[in-house]
Chains A and B, each alone.
Chain A
Amino acid sequence: GEDVEQSLFLSVREGDSSVINCTYTDSSSTYLYWYKQEPGAGLQLLTYIFSNMDMKQDQRLTVLLNKKDKHLSLRIADTQTGDSAIYFCAESLNNNDMRFGAGTRLTVKP
């Protein structure tokens, strides 16, 4: 299909790891992104990965990329209540535009 797909909801307990999954559409996408949106706010760039990389780690965040399956994941270690938000996966397209997933709403329970 033509959509970037994400599961809509994820609920974890504080201190656990969260894994948010995404499948994208364009095998020629050069950049893949994760954005975080808190209620009533814009999108905050969390991290991005080049398509020639398999993994990128930045503090509590780990991004894994499987180009063969066009699958991207974001792992948040030691999830905190402040991590509760909507997480958007996005891919860059040939014309430099971006295509976004529908967003995954992460709820962290104390």
Chain B
Amino acid sequence: GAVVSQHPSWVICKSGTSVKIECRSLDFQATTMFWYRQFPKQSLMLMATSNEGSKATYEQGVEKDKFLINHASLTLSTLTVTSAHPEDSSFYICSAREPRENIQYFGAGTRLSVL
């Protein structure tokens, strides 16, 4: 299957700092990528849909100024958690839609811990 790379896998930061997470599709071009958040022992919660060359579409209740998404190329989307606080600590997972198969392939996830 297709490969999606997500970095970093784990980040610890101080409250008030910003953290950038990268999601790359390695062997296909993805016009659409997705960002999810997963709380312990829960399912994935879709945060936003990232569209190459246009603004991201955020789900209800997700602050767009807090979670900045940039999809500047067909293989890279970034999620920046701005002014992170302890309540932002979570597991963030990205996915990219392989256009021919219409299947979402997932990155390995990023564990964010805000102190």
Q: A-side interface residues toward B, CB under 8 Å?
A: 31, 33, 35, 40-45, 48, 88, 92, 96-98, 100-103
Given contacts A42-B106, A102-B43, 4 further A-B contacts (CB under 8 A): A43-B93, A92-B102, A97-B34, A98-B104
A97 touches B49 (CB 8 A): yes
Could you pull out 23 A-B pairs where Cβ atoms are within 8 angstroms?
A: A31-B102, A31-B103, A33-B103, A35-B106, A41-B108, A41-B109, A42-B6, A42-B93, A42-B108, A42-B109, A43-B93, A43-B95, A45-B1, A45-B103, A45-B104, A45-B105, A88-B43, A88-B44, A92-B102, A97-B46, A101-B43, A103-B42, A103-B43
Q: Contacts of B42 on A, CB cut-off 8 Å? A: 102-103
Total interface residues on B, CB under 8 Å, equals: 22
Query: Could you tell me the distance in whole angstroms from the C-beta of B82 to the nearest C-beta in chain A?
Result: 23
- Docked complex Cα distance between A43 and B91 (Å): 12
Q: Contacts of B32 on A, CB cut-off 8 Å? A: 96
Look across to chain A and name the residue whose beta carbon is closest to the beta carbon of B108: A42
Look across to chain A and name the residue whose beta carbon is closest to the beta carbon of B32: A96
B103 touches A100 (CB 8 A): no
B85 within 8 A of A: no
Q: Contacts of A88 on B, CB cut-off 8 Å? A: 43-44
